[in-house]
A = this chain, B = another copy of it.
Amino acid sequence: MSATLAKIIDALGGALHGSPDLAIQRLAPLQSAGPADLSFLSNPKYASQLQTTQAACVIVAPALAEAALQRGACIVTDEPYLYFARLTQWWRKQHGLGYPPGVHASAVVHAEAHIHPSAHIGPLCVVEHGARIGAGTVLTSRVTVGERCVVGERCIVHSGVVIGADGFGFAPDKSRSGAWEKIEQLGAVRIGNDVEIGANTCIDRGALDDTVIEDGVKLDNLVQIGHNVHIGAHTAIAGCVGIAGSATIGRHCTVGGGAGILGHLTIADHVHISSVSTVTRSINQPGHYTGMFPIDDNASWEKNAASLKQLHKLRERVRAMEKHIELIAQKKNGPP
């Protein structure tokens, strides 16, 4: 399949500089684009790639239009990255890719589950008693949606996802020397609209109330969401993040890959957590937070790690020296 630039502009807008009849065969990154490919440049720091790319046409912001024109066709738009996102969606539709409505024959859907007719329930999914799947939502394949859990509209749930397993709740029984007594998890999971959930991610059901994922949230692969967590709208969480029970996360937050958020705390809107950082207390101010051990060659790390285990003592030694020096100074300046 190919599409002319005219057809693309017609569908998505933007100002075309170049021949509308140019046929595009593929979308490609600047570096690997060939002479029939359409590419994009959103981050100005890669502007130098304009000079070397073989792309037929490049999507750019107005500030880079002149540079792009010097090498060939371009589409100028205020938000090249957003334009590119929409282009990928349009491109996919043009190729006839997509998920048809209906329930795959191999899926196991409970008679009392509620599946919207426009939803796609892929192969080998399990949808349990009382679960609800909204309009246009896609469970790709091998997804579990547990009893009474709700997935909103236009969601995409990738393979291996488990929605509504039991939260991790146990009470120690002293009379049986600390054996754990299960707390049945009587809540469910409620997921809003336009949520995407990555492969093998788990969202536990609430203990009594529900676990809640608001509209527009994006979860990457292998994310763990504990029971009674509440994630605000349009928050994006990268792969391998773990969020412990009853944490409340604001709207428009981002959480980097491998980060952790401890339980029973609150994170404000517009908070950005770096990868591999652990949130151990509530964060009330928007901003960017980090806690990550810097990597080093192993020999240097060993020395620094050993010193770190003595850091508090080092601080006390510094304090002692400061006092000592002050004393010396006082004696010097004092009466003879």
User: In chain A, residues 215-239, which have Cβ atoms closer than 8 Å to a Cβ of chain B?
Assistant: 216, 218, 220-222, 224, 226, 234, 236, 238-239
A181 in contact with B86 (CB, 8 Å): yes
The copy count of this chain in the complex is 3
A 223-259 to B, binary, CB cutoff 8 A, 1 in contact else 0: 0101000000010101110101000000010000110
With a cutoff of 8 Å between Cβ atoms, the chain B residues found around residue A170 in the complex are 85, 218, 236
Does A7 sit at the interface, judged by CB under 8 A? no
User: In chain A, residues 281-316, which have Cβ atoms closer than 8 Å to a Cβ of chain B?
Assistant: 281, 287-298, 300-312, 314-315
Q: Are A297 and B288 CB-contacts (below 8 A) given A183-B84, A208-B28, A275-B262?
A: yes
B124 in contact with A108 (CB, 8 Å): yes
- Measured between C-beta atoms, what is the minimum distance from A176 to chain B in Å? 9
18 sampled A-B residue pairs with Cβ under 8 A: A79-B173, A84-B183, A88-B183, A89-B182, A140-B144, A142-B162, A160-B200, A162-B199, A170-B236, A202-B221, A220-B224, A238-B244, A240-B260, A258-B260, A278-B292, A279-B295, A290-B297, A325-B325
Known contacts A257-B260, A303-B312, A321-B325; 17 further A-B pairs (Cβ under 8 A): A29-B207, A89-B182, A122-B126, A124-B124, A162-B221, A178-B252, A220-B224, A222-B222, A222-B224, A242-B257, A274-B301, A276-B278, A280-B292, A288-B298, A290-B302, A300-B309, A300-B312
Q: Which residues in A have some Cβ–Cβ distance to B below 8 Å?
A: 26-29, 32, 79, 81-82, 84-86, 88-89, 91-92, 97, 104, 106, 108, 122-124, 126, 128, 140-142, 144, 146-147, 156, 158-160, 162, 165-166, 168-174, 177-186, 194, 196, 198-200, 202, 204, 207-209, 216, 218, 220-222, 224, 226, 234, 236, 238-240, 242, 244, 252, 257-258, 260, 262, 273-281, 287-298, 300-312, 314-315, 317-318, 321-322, 324-325, 328-329
